[in-house]
Amino acid sequence: MLPELKLAPLRYVLAILDSGGFHAAAKQLHRSQPAVSMAVRDLEERLGQPLFEKGGGKALLTPFGRWCEPRFRELVAHHDRVCRDALAIARQQRGRVDIAAVPSVASRLMPALLAGFLEAYPGIDISLQDGHSERVNEMVLKGEVELGITSLWLPDDTLRFDALLHDDIGVVCRDDHPLAQQNALHWRALKPYTLIRNGTSRLLEGSPAAELLTHSTLYISNMISLTAMLEAGIGVTTLPRLAFQEEHQRLRFIPLATPRLERRIGLLRRARQSLSPAADAMYGYLLTQLAGRISLKR
């Protein structure tokens, strides 16, 4: 029923109008003049009406041609717009990534990383939200974000995990605490003191130090509150080094030596689903930026 109007002949027609003739259009299009003539004739046959006046020497539109011209222009412009946008996205010059990260990474690592990414890929919009590791996991799984930066990953067939860095677990206490002068600790050294559990405490599970958790009666999820407790000297806690905020003058971080514990922080994405070009750019960027820094030592 509907003949298929190819875009090239439409361009030919527009070029003829813009350049004022078949010959000029052919040159502009890097085609031979017969190619233009034949394409136009074919188009006219498809439509069943001539577009150009046959009489005179110059290329003049018929009334039907005049009706067609603006529509052809719009259609070609529409094509070019779609094409340009698609290419910009494909080439990672535009787009959007939604990522999620655990709070420590979001606040400690992402600022510098995102600054670099924004510079390397201007035009890509970024949305970063934080959540505890299970929440990050869930957001990736449900497709709420394309990428997650998290630890504590239970092997899952539908998710893919790329390790980025290892983060040592240690003890945090006030600088006047008896443990504060140590360089490394055995877990039993903590037994005498009040242990405040927090969202990262489950990292101790499965290790000898897990016994400490059973004797702990205080759980604080919020990091601000937790540091306030520690500054008040209420007790000590365990934290990954990255989650320890160095800005606090009176708090000290002492690595656990026995058992040596660490969390693996890595990039999470859906396994059998490719990333958007923008997310792919972010993925590659994060991998290369954090490639060398297997462990966090400062």
Q: Name the residues that contact its own copies, by CB under 8 A.
A: 2-8, 47-50, 53-56, 60, 62-64, 67-68, 71-72, 74-75, 78-80, 82-87, 89-91, 146, 272-277, 279
* β-sheet bridge partners, residue 173: 252
**Quick one: which of 226, 255, 260 has its CA closest to 242?**
255
Tell me the closest approach of the beta carbon of residue 268 to its own copies, in angstroms.
16
Residues in CB range of 231: below 8 A, 6 or more apart: 174, 248, 250, 251
Shortest distance, position 64 Cβ to its own copies, whole Å: 6
Smaller CB separation from its own copies, 90 or 291: 90
Q: How far is the CB of 103 from DNA (least distance, A)?
A: 37
User: Residue type at 207?
Assistant: S
Which option in its own copies, DNA, none does residue 163 bind, with CB closer than 5 to 8 A by kind? none
What residue 202 binds from DNA, its own copies, none (CB within 5 to 8 A, per partner kind)? none
Among 28, 33, 258, 289, binds DNA (CB under 7 A): 33
| Residue 221 binds: one of its own copies, DNA, none (C-beta under 5 to 8 A by kind) | none
CA distances to 7, 44, 54, 62 from 12, in Å: 9, 12, 17, 16
Sequence-ordered list of residues with C-beta below 8 angstroms from that of 280, at least 6 positions apart, any chain: 92, 274
Token duo for residue 95? 């787009």
**CA distances from residue 147 to 133, 153, 159, 293 in whole angstroms, order as listed:** 13, 14, 10, 20
Per-residue interface string for the shown chain with DNA, residues 6-25, x marking contact by CB under 7 A: x-x-------x----xxxx-
Q: Which of 15, 40, 140, 149 binds DNA (CB under 7 A)?
A: 40
User: Nearer to DNA by C-beta: 58 or 298?
Assistant: 58
Q: Binds 40, which of DNA, its own copies, none (CB < 5 to 8 A, cut-off by type)? A: DNA
**CB 199, CB 132: distance < 8 Å:** yes
Q: Give the largest CA-CA distance in the chain.
A: 105
Question: From the CB of 86, what's the least distance to DNA, in Å?
Answer: 17
Rounded Cα–Cα distance for residues 111 and 74 (Å): 43
DSSP letter at 52 equals: B
CA distance 61 to 21: 11
Burial of 83 (0-12, 13-18, 19+ CB in 10 A): exposed
> Cα(63)–Cα(50) distance, rounded to whole angstroms?
9
Q: Which is nearer to DNA, 8 or 294 (CB)?
A: 8
CB of 37 to its own copies, least distance (A): 18
Stretch that binds DNA, among 50-58, 134-142, 149-157, 194-202 (CB under 7 A): 50-58
Least separation, in Å, of the C-beta of 125 and its own copies?
A: 13
| Contacts with DNA, residue ranges (CB under 7 A) | 6, 8, 16, 21-24, 30-35, 37-42, 52, 54, 56-59
